[in-house]
Structure 1
Amino acid sequence: MTHRALVLTGSGRYADPWHPFAEVGAEVADILRHRGWDVAVSDDVDQGMANLDGYDLVAVCAGDPWREGTRGAPPAAVAGFAAALERGIGVLAMHSAVSSLRDYPEWASALGAIWLPELSYHPEAGEMTVQVEPDAVPAEVPVTFHTHDERYCALQRLGHRTVVAWHEGDGAKEAAAWVREFGGGRIAVDVLGHDARALETSGHRSLIAALAAWAVASS
């Protein structure tokens, strides 16, 4: 069975000065295509959310739409995502997606964590080590890999989750990736992936593929 994925990349109010969302989205699409997925990519986040019928997975690479005070998503988009969750769509949230889609009531609850402005933070981007839980993902994902990325710290947790990978935060171990179920959907979150460079390592690419596969395992 060929799974279908829609990769949404931030533009307009979902863009920011720090993240090359189109580059990251292209890398995520490439990872999935190399594993046999049928992948579409769109830079219109709200339109994509309104048209999720026929997709098994939605992957979001986007930023904070409230950063400059702009609020309000189209009702059809909000309803489209809610309906997709209810029918069991898989979700892959990449990096700053934990600060995105703030107008979607189900988004933060589905992900299980959000970025809190003025409280959440990351040290300067640099070389980092990621430790993967050996029983949480397929054998082809290494238990340790190295990458150049940002290390998100002090996210606000919402609900229970199963941590798949960890990184060393600023004095404490922090979750780098986790999975959870919400409503009828399966949610995978990877807070790595600041830019395309962060997705160059084979270990991270294997982890992303494993998270996506987990998110659609029941479809």
Structure 2
Amino acid sequence: MIRNLILTGGIGHPFADAAPALDGVLAGAGIRSTVTEDIEGGLEELDRGGFDLVTVYALRWRMLGSEKYAPHRDAWAFSLSPDGRERLTRFVTGGGGLLGLHTALVCFDDWPGWADLLGAAWVWGRSGHPPLGPVTLRPTDAPHPITDGLPAFTVIDEAYRDLDLAPDVVPLATVEAGEGGAWPALWAREVGRGRAVTDTIGHDRATLEHPVHQQILTRAALWAARRL
């Protein structure tokens, strides 16, 4: 049994419905998840041991720079504590697995070490996405057990573009939205003694439960946890 900690919650996305769906998808591969919106409290659980994987499927950042976030700041604005940063870094670099899903790239925006773990960062003023609509995830020619043999597929989602990618990122899939081009959307990396996978789509339950995306998610979790 693989034990997974899912950190979730935030605005603009149906996490309350989608996070349990993610739990169900991973359960089909023998992965037992603890789901929580308490980011700090969840990471404290890592000190007790027993977890093989941490999944960040949340939208938690400082919410600075635009007054449109003002109504949500009291409930959702967030800066990960030094202890939380240390716990997450120690877990991954010490041999644990990390799965960063969709909005994970926006999280923890005042912590450069988060980009070091994920392999990319959202850059305010440069990164973005077209409006929610049809996007196609297309595996690249890079061989990897997460994507080997899988076809392209189309879902209603957000195609993240113009991220700040680490030099060692090798895209395993790209995402396309209409005529807007294609951008790296899935990659897997060794981080210290651990493994990290980043998947930039996953807006809602429908995307998570698409049959091909389910295979990507379960393979990604198994690979990050060194079971694939």
TM-score, normalised to structure 1, is 0.88
Cα deviation per residue 1:55-111 (whole Å; 9 max; x = unaligned)?
100001111411147564333322211221232110000101001023444211111
Q: How many residues align?
A: 213
Deviation at 1:30, TM superposition (A): 0.8
For 1:108 and 1:42, locate their aligned partners in 2 and report how far apart those are by CA, in whole Å: 22
Confirm or deny that 1:181 pairs with 2:190: yes
Q: Which of residues 43, 46, 52 in structure 1 aligns to 2:37?
A: 43
> Using a 3 Å threshold, how does the CA distance of structure 1 residues 155 and 139 change in structure 2: closer, same or farther?
closer
> Using a 3 Å threshold, how does the CA distance of structure 1 residues 204 and 183 change in structure 2: closer, same or farther?
same
What secondary structure, in the 3-state scheme, does the structure 2 residue paired with 1:51 have? helix
Identity of aligned residues (%): 31
Deviation at 1:211, TM superposition (A): 0.9
For 1:72 and 1:9, locate their aligned partners in 2 and report how far apart those are by CA, in whole Å: 14
> Match of 2:169, as an amino acid?
R
Cα deviation per residue 1:13-68 (whole Å; 9 max; x = unaligned)?
xx22x112232221221111111112111111122122222110000111141114
Q: Which range moved further: 75-84 or 185-194?
A: 75-84
Cα deviation per residue 1:109-135 (whole Å; 9 max; x = unaligned)?
111111111211101111222112363
Query: Does the CA contact (< 8 Å) of 2:134 and 2:155 recur in 1?
Result: yes
Deviation at 1:187, TM superposition (A): 0.5
Confirm or deny that 1:122 pairs with 2:129: yes
Determine the structure 1 residue equivalent to 2:214: 205
Determine the structure 1 residue equivalent to 2:168: 160
Q: Which of residues 21, 26, 29 in structure 1 aligns to 2:15?
A: 21
Determine the structure 1 residue equivalent to 2:108: 101
For 1:86 and 1:157, locate their aligned partners in 2 and report how far apart those are by CA, in whole Å: 19
For structure 2, the 5+ residue unaligned runs are 66-76
> Using a 3 Å threshold, how does the CA distance of structure 1 residues 140 and 155 change in structure 2: closer, same or farther?
closer
> Match of 1:150, as an amino acid?
E
> Using a 3 Å threshold, how does the CA distance of structure 1 residues 51 and 104 change in structure 2: closer, same or farther?
farther
For 1:46 and 1:105, locate their aligned partners in 2 and report how far apart those are by CA, in whole Å: 18
> Using a 3 Å threshold, how does the CA distance of structure 1 residues 136 and 76 change in structure 2: closer, same or farther?
same
What secondary structure, in the 3-state scheme, does the structure 1 residue paired with 2:180 have? coil
Determine the structure 1 residue equivalent to 2:70: none
Determine the structure 2 residue equivalent to 1:9: 8
Query: Does the CA contact (< 8 Å) of 1:49 and 1:81 recur in 2?
Result: yes
Confirm or deny that 1:196 pairs with 2:195: no
Query: Does the CA contact (< 8 Å) of 2:146 and 2:220 recur in 1?
Result: no
For 1:202 and 1:141, locate their aligned partners in 2 and report how far apart those are by CA, in whole Å: 14
Determine the structure 1 residue equivalent to 2:69: none
Query: Does the CA contact (< 8 Å) of 2:55 and 2:99 recur in 1?
Result: yes
Query: Does the CA contact (< 8 Å) of 1:50 and 1:81 recur in 2?
Result: no
> Match of 2:22, as an amino acid?
V
For 2:36 and 2:208, locate their aligned partners in 1 and report how far apart those are by CA, in whole Å: 19
For 1:125 and 1:182, locate their aligned partners in 2 and report how far apart those are by CA, in whole Å: 32
What secondary structure, in the 3-state scheme, does the structure 1 residue paired with 2:168 have? coil
Deviation at 1:158, TM superposition (A): 2.2
